[in-house]
Structures are given as structure tokens and as C-alpha cells.
Structure 1
């Protein structure tokens, strides 16, 4: 199955998301033909595996729908000023019919957007922008809760767990933390440590070493992404500790770690679908259609039972 087959699925799903009023409008009503629509897509970065799936979805949607998409992203997920400058340039471009943003700093992005009349959509990470068209992404708290429940089921009541997040105060991190903690606690597992490692494997390994020293009864670790799960696993192995470790994102490296037994599981998002549906939604917004405020691209728990099949799906999405 080629990744292009997602087009039909995405189009059908988007049709269900559009409200009847918007769906009844056509290009002649709004003055925007699909082949003349220009969409700006600004991601958090283009230099990571996770964002390569989002970019692949964006590029496929642009080709399938025949629209002009300007895809950009800063050098890293800490290049805040660079993303701000890119957004300012997009906003100043009068040819842009709609803009999709994955905000590094939601509040800062909202300040830059101001009172622009361009349709603004958010992907992967939501932002408190009053005039946004929609948010396309994962229900992070609900997805993380399912991961916490899965980890708790393996650990059993009375177990102790640690949470390693990306950056405290980030919308996505906070939602995942709340979900994982709720899922663990619902299964009788107590979270005894919370630390943050900026999404980096090496920093997570260092944080994990400290957590293990101060929490000798720890048996579970849940993390905000797959890279940090890998770092935590490395530290646990060095300390001779066998832990239940869950990551988040479901990138190839994370799924391979599950297959290898290094990590117990991961909560997989669908970044390819995020990218594809973001472009579909932006085109719909440019044509004057009304969309749901939240378009959920779903998630699933990956364990040793389904990791091989899911890895094959990821490779197909990147055309490998």
C-alpha cells in the first residue's frame, strides 16, 4: 500500500469535519479555485524524524490537491526567533490564502498573529488564538492517558513511576504529563518523580540516573517523546535496572526500540495524517468552508505485539 492511498481516506474524513454551511459553498462563491490557492505551512523544524512524517503528509496533500504549499521550519525546536521571523514573512505575503503553524511557543505565536485576516490553523500543537480556524492533531491528554493505563496494567497496583517531560509549561508537554499521570494513577501506580529533559536522549539519560538514585523502588518510567524513552532506557540498563518504559510519538527509532525490547511501548501519533489533513483543512478554509474546532488524527499504543506491522506502515509513509 502506497502512502498516496491516504488521500482518499483524508478527503473523506475532512468532508465529515466540515459543517454543512461551509460544505455547501464552492470555489465560485469564495473566489478561490484550488489550483490558485497558496498555503503556508510552518512546522517546528524540518530536521527530525517526527517532523519528516508531517512534512511528507504536507507534500503529498499539496500534490494530490494541486495547490501551492510553502513548507518551512526553523533549524531546531529551540529556534524560537527563527520561527517568529518565518511567520512574520508569511503573514506579510499577500498571496498566502491560509497559514498552518506548529507553534514552538504558542503564546508568542499568538502575539505575532495579532489581528490578521488570513485563516490560521494549528497543527500538532494548539495555541490560544481566538480567531483560529481549527487545530489538527492528537488529543495529547487522552492518548497519554491510554499509555499510562497500559504501563499501569503491566506494573500492577502499588508500583512507583517517574515522568520525564520535554519542557515544563509547554502546552503539549503539560497535556501529556496530565494524561500519563492520570492513566498511571487510575491503575494504582504512584508518580514519585517528575523531571524535564528538553526532548533530548542524552539529557534524559542524565535525568534518569538521578531519578534512579533517589527512587530505589521505581519500576515505571513514562516520557514525553521516544528520544527521551531511549535515553531513560540506556540509563536504566547501565544501572542494571529492569523498568517498564513508555515513550510518545511512535517514530521509527522508538518503534524499533520496542521491537528490540529496549523500551516497553510507545504512544504513536499519526504525524503523516496531521500534515495531510492540515493542508486539506487549509484549502477548505481558503474556500470559505467552516471546520470543526478540533480535528483529531488519532493515536494507538504500540507494544511488541504490533510493533513490526506499525514500523512497516511508517516506512511506507516516507516512501521507503
Structure 2
């Protein structure tokens, strides 16, 4: 009976080994991953999996994994303020010898860099960059350039001589600061003067109260540009309550933001390509694992969404999520 049990365990071990490596005859190439036909494994840690925006990134990750025939472990903390949870996920992936490369969207870039330490695994950043000396690539939006096109679009609609306000996320946050610089540059290039700059932590309700104060202090204001679609919606709510018609632009291009454009609640939004970010991050990770050249910055682009193209773009977003 003992011999039978040992034989059974041995057979199971061989099966599990074959499943885990993709082949039982492949030798390691010494780079942390195995050569030949062994399945490539990429770890992806996003800022969260519990929001519409990050669901697009996740969908792109999964599509790339299927198309490229690689294994992906996709994780994300409960919220975008669960810093320790994200760091713990990253630590676990770093300790996994089977993980060939890691893609991360850092909640706190400096903290994530500390966790990464001196790892030799290929590290790529998606959506948000980080100052990691040995990173392979950053895959995401050129925020300043994208916001500049949004500012130019808003200025064209409002006309030269208009007055505008900027409502940012968190002052000092790299992404928010880049969008601020871009929007303001675009507005000023179109002859629009920015007369107010406030910050609302990315929240619709706080943007609404901030907008109320801005409108009171600036009776000639006709334009407002914001760091995301949620704040654009909040600003629009306050403007409507005050009986003011404004040119309002958001940023991100999520379904709710695009629907607001369709409904006429806001004027437009600068749409990122989160699906493309997810897809291209896995694509770049696989290239790095294979020793191929990867660009240090992969710009996934942006698109201005107005009433003219909002319906078509909304259909695209729904298709990406399989709706």
C-alpha cells in the first residue's frame, strides 16, 4: 500500500511540474525565466480592480495575455488609497521565482520603488510612472500633451478673450500637475485667460463646492477644465444650479464622462486609452523577457471626445468590456 501511495504522489508531481512549466525538457537560460517553449508569466498590479477606469486596463491585460499566449497574474488592492495592500502584493510577486516580469501602476511611486529595491526582474510601469532606475518602460498617456489638446479644444469653443478656471486633483501629484500645465498652456494658446486654480482631490462633490466658490468670485467665467471626468460632472452640477452655461472639459474618457457629453452635461473630455495601456504593457513585458528592445516611454495616446464622436466612442468602450 505504501509503494502504491508513493507511486501515485510521484505521478501527480510530474503532472504538476509539466503544467507549471509548459515543458519538462526546457532548461533555464539564466535570466530568471526559462527559454524554449516554457510559458511566460507576467505579474500585473494595478491601482485597484474596483473602478471603471481600471477595468479597461485589466481587460487590455487579459486580451494581450490571450493573444500572446502568456500567463498573467492580475491583481489590485481594494481601493486607490490601499497603499500597504499594493506594496504587499508587489512583494509577493517579487518573491515568486516563476514570475518573469512585473507591470505595476504605483499608488505611491516612491514607496513602490523602495519595495522594488535591487530586483533584477524586468519592471514596467503603466498609467503612472515611477523613478525606478532599472525600469524597462513606462506605458501610458503623455498627460501634459493630452491635456494641452483639451485646453485648445475648450478655447476654440469658448473663443478668444474668455476666462477659465482649473480644478485639479491633488496639488503636487505628478499626474495632476502635468494635466494642469497642459490644460493651461492649451487655453492660453487659444487666447483664454485662466483666472482661478483650485483643487478638489478628484472628487465630484468637492469639485461642486469648489465650483460654487469660483463662480461667486468670477462672474465672467465661461470655461472650466478639470483633472478627471468625476470633477467635471461636479462642476457641471454647480454651474447648472447657479444658472450658468459653461464650456466644461474633463479628462479620462470613462463611460460616465462620455455619457455626460452625450447628454450635454459637459462639453467634452480628453479620453485616455486604458485598454491600450493594459494591452501594450503586457506586450512590452513579453518583449523585455525575450531580450528585445523596448522603448522607455510608450505613449498610448489620447482623443478629444465631444458631441460629434461621443456615441461612437461609448460603443467602443462597451465593446472593450464585453458589454
TM-score using structure 1 length: 0.88
Q: Does 1:60 align with 2:63?
A: yes
Q: Does 1:85 align with 2:95?
A: no
For residue 125 of structure 1, report the CA deviation from its aligned partner: 0.9
Could you say which residue in structure 2 is the equivalent of 1:198? 201
d(CA) in 1 for partners of 2:210, 2:83: 24
Cα deviation, 1:80-114, whole Å, max 9, x if unaligned, reads 22212221222222221101011112122112212
RMSD, aligned α-carbons: 1.6
SS at match of 1:281: helix
Judging changes above 3 Å, is the alpha-carbon distance between structure 1 residues 102 and 246 closer, same or farther for their aligned structure 2 residues?
same
Instruction: Out of 37-46 and 59-68, give the one that drifted further.
Output: 59-68
Q: Does 1:218 align with 2:221?
A: yes
- Structure with greater contact order relative to length (CA < 8 Å, sep ≥ 6): 1
Q: Does 1:37 align with 2:53?
A: no
Cα deviation, 1:175-208, whole Å, max 9, x if unaligned, reads 1111001001111111121122221211211211
d(CA) in 1 for partners of 2:210, 2:49: 27
- Tell me which of 227, 230, 233 is aligned to 2:230: 227
Contact 1:33 1:287 in 2 (8 A): no
Q: After the TM superposition, which parts of structure 1 deviate over 6 Å for at least 4 consecutive aligned residues?
A: 27-30
Superposition pairs of residues 168-187 of structure 1, within 5 angstroms: 168-187=171-190
Cα deviation, 1:59-89, whole Å, max 9, x if unaligned, reads 1111222211111111111222221222122
Could you say which residue in structure 1 is the equivalent of 2:239? 236
SS at match of 1:175: helix
Q: Does 1:249 align with 2:252?
A: yes
Judging changes above 3 Å, is the alpha-carbon distance between structure 1 residues 170 and 182 closer, same or farther for their aligned structure 2 residues?
same
- Tell me which of 73, 76, 87 is aligned to 1:73: 76
For residue 32 of structure 1, report the CA deviation from its aligned partner: 3.5
d(CA) in 2 for partners of 1:209, 1:138: 31
Contact 1:41 1:69 in 2 (8 A): yes
- Tell me which of 131, 135, 140 is aligned to 1:137: 140
d(CA) in 1 for partners of 2:199, 2:133: 30
Judging changes above 3 Å, is the alpha-carbon distance between structure 1 residues 71 and 157 closer, same or farther for their aligned structure 2 residues?
same
SS at match of 1:36: coil
TM-score using structure 2 length: 0.88
Q: Does 1:148 align with 2:151?
A: yes
SS at match of 1:163: strand
Could you say which residue in structure 1 is the equivalent of 2:16? none
Instruction: Out of 101-110 and 258-267, give the one that drifted further.
Output: 101-110
Could you say which residue in structure 2 is the equivalent of 1:314? 317
SS at match of 1:41: strand
Compare CA radii of gyration and give the structure with the larger one: 2
Superposition pairs of residues 18-33 of structure 1, within 5 angstroms: 31-33=34-36
d(CA) in 1 for partners of 2:294, 2:319: 29
Judging changes above 3 Å, is the alpha-carbon distance between structure 1 residues 70 and 304 closer, same or farther for their aligned structure 2 residues?
same
d(CA) in 1 for partners of 2:140, 2:37: 23
Judging changes above 3 Å, is the alpha-carbon distance between structure 1 residues 112 and 240 closer, same or farther for their aligned structure 2 residues?
same
For structure 2, the 5+ residue unaligned runs are: 1-27
d(CA) in 1 for partners of 2:300, 2:180: 20
d(CA) in 2 for partners of 1:259, 1:111: 44
Judging changes above 3 Å, is the alpha-carbon distance between structure 1 residues 231 and 33 closer, same or farther for their aligned structure 2 residues?
farther
Cα deviation, 1:22-68, whole Å, max 9, x if unaligned, reads xxxxx989643575211110111111111110000011111222211
